[in-house]
Amino acid sequence: MALAIHFHDQLQQPHEASLRDETLAGFAATPKWASPKFFYDRRGSELFEQICRQPEYYITRTEEQILAEAANDILDIAGPHSDLIELGSGASRKVRLLLEALHPTSYLGIDISEDFLLSSTQRLAADYPWLEVHAACTDFSHELNLPDDFSSEHPLVFFPGSSIGNFTPAEAAAFLQRLHDVLPAGGGLVIGVDLVKDRAVLEAAYNDRAHVTAAFNLNLLQRIRNELDSDIDPSRFVHRAFFNEGESRIEMHLISPEAQDVTIEGRRFHFDAGESLHTENSYKYTLDSFAALADSAGFNCRGQWTDPRGLFSVNYLQRR
């Protein structure tokens, strides 16, 4: 039997309308682009969980290692009775490390993928029967409003996985400013941030030998084909990911090896041979550059923890 959770559907428009509007805008642009938030239908979410288990993808296991070692330090800064708000809850594995250290009374998981959100929060409710569990389906990249029946004097936001890297630095600053506006003075944000490192390590993480990341990238086209009126054929595109050193970011693209036309919702779009559809950026920071970004949005950096190799960081930001 499904366990009771407090579910809130906060999407401003249906998934299909948002997917349609942003896809048409991106395919009509020069250069063409697609929003990475649409990676995460059920299949995409499952593929991402597989990515996290690939040997080349250091991000997940390294962040979990850091969180396990830093959990008590985070508790010392946050203090008792904090309530956890997880952005992009996904499988909610990492947040368990904080739940067990902090013992909050309530948890709010926020994600754009309703099916995955519900399944993950149901598991948390089953495993932590003392925890009041809320789930909000919303696109927090554009707007963040906490549900009316979720109130906390000591909220602690958790944003793992270096998802902040999917924003440009300007967008990341604006996103942090929105969080600043939601949190009370002294409110905390625990955020995972991937660090600048050797190009080979970075590029291997997004080009795993099992080709799971390629399948994840191509699944975006399959979702467009499944959910919109489209004849786009994912088999006619190939995955490409590389580190753009000048922009300090990994870029993911889908390349059309041959010239082709695709139709989406009655509109025809042409791809030249070799033309790219830019699907994702993942910006990488230094500890100092991220602390400066946080400061510009009204946060003090109270703690930064890394692994011995300096691959990844977990940061505690406190709202001024």
Give the tokens for residue 209.
Answer: 């030998």
Give the domains, in start order, of the chain with CATH numbers.
Answer: 58-198+284-319 (3.40.50.150)
Write out pLDDT tens, residues 125-162. 999 999 999 999 988 988 888 888 888 889 999 999 99
- Min mean pLDDT across 77-91, 99-113, 163-177, 226-240 is at 77-91
Residue 12 has pLDDT above 70, yes or no: no
Confidence tier at 91 by pLDDT (50, 70, 90): low
Edge to edge, the sheet with strand 6-9 lists 6-9, 132-137, 106-111, 83-87, 155-159, 188-194, 312-319, 299-306
The residue behind tokens 């509007």 is: 21
Q: What integer pLDDT is reported at residue 195 of this predicted model?
A: 99
The number of beta carbons lying within 10 Å of the beta carbon of residue 53 is 12
This prediction's pTM:
0.93
- Spell out the alpha helix ranges (H) of the chain: 15-28, 42-51, 58-78, 95-102, 114-127, 169-182, 199-205, 212-227, 287-296
Cβ atoms 51, 212 nearer than 8 A:
yes
More confident residue, 223 or 89: 223
List the Cα angle 194/169/190 in 5-degree steps.
Answer: 50
> Closest Cα to residue 298, out of 185, 167, 190, 191?
185
Residue 2 has pLDDT above 60, yes or no: no
Confidence tier at 1 by pLDDT (50, 70, 90): very low
Give the tokens for residue 200.
Answer: 């080979």
Write out pLDDT tens, residues 14-65. 566 789 999 999 999 999 999 999 998 889 989 999 999 999 999 999 999 9
